[in-house]
Amino acid sequence: MVRTMKLTLALGMVGLSAMLLACSSSDSESPAATGTTAAATPAAAASPVEATLTDFAIALSKDSAPAGLVTFAAKNDGATPHELVVIKSDLAPDALPVADGKVDEAAMDFIGEIEEFPVGESQTGAFELDAGKYILICNVAGHYQLGMHAAFTVE
């Protein structure tokens, strides 16, 4: 019985050590580079920018934020799947070049995205944003041209 307890304790300590190492690793790369959801700092987590995606509009809870990590909480209230793409641009929100029903993200200053997600769901993404003008779009074919874009400023 003592041997079993020692083994259980040892395995528990290994698991705890692994969890502590995972939580303490440094994250030196930009959280937005891959377009994946990143752990937000307390300030960013406290006040996300809410983006409601409908057919066919993007409504933001605020149109600006301070430079740094900006968290977008996107909710798909539309009838079709949507995504939220973050592009840095001085162009008007409706003036991005389009080919074959989509904005060419590779030709833009693409920051990152919350990839396409189903109706009724919510997704969150955190992006490291410098001061400047940004355009948030849904780049599902045809959606941008139907009005799914919004201006966003980082100060």
Query: Is-contact 137 87, C-beta < 8 A?
Result: yes
The fraction of the chain above a pLDDT of 90, given in percent, is: 70
- Tokens linked to 125: 């993404």
Per-residue pLDDT, averaged over 18-28, amounts to 36
47 pLDDT tier (thresholds 50, 70, 90): confident
Strands 102-103 and 98-99: antiparallel
Per-residue pLDDT, averaged over 23-27, amounts to 36
Which residues in 10-79 belong to E strands, given as ranges? 49-54, 57-60, 64-65, 68-76
- Tokens linked to 89: 């641009």
40 pLDDT tier (thresholds 50, 70, 90): very low
pLDDT for 102 = 98
Greater pLDDT, 35 or 69: 69
Domain 33-154 sits in CATH at 2.60.40.420
Query: Is-contact 96 87, C-beta < 8 A?
Result: yes
pLDDT for 28 = 34
Per-residue pLDDT, averaged over 76-93, amounts to 98
In 97-136, which positions are buried (b, 16+ CB within 10 angstroms) versus exposed (e)?
Answer: eeeeebbeeeebebbbbbeebeeeeebbbbbbbeeebbbb
Q: Is the pLDDT of residue 103 over 80?
A: yes
Find all residues with CB under 8 Å of 10, minimum gap 6, and list them: none
Q: Is the pLDDT of residue 122 over 60?
A: yes
Q: Locate the domains of the chain by residue range.
A: 33-154
Per-residue pLDDT, averaged over 3-15, amounts to 38
Greater pLDDT, 34 or 77: 77
Query: Is-contact 70 40, C-beta < 8 A?
Result: no
Average pLDDT along the chain: 80
Three-state DSSP class for residue 44: helix
Rounded to 5 degrees, what angle do the CA atoms 137, 41, 114 make?
25
Dihedral sign, Cα of residue 88, residue 93, residue 95, residue 101? positive
pTM above 0.75, yes or no: no
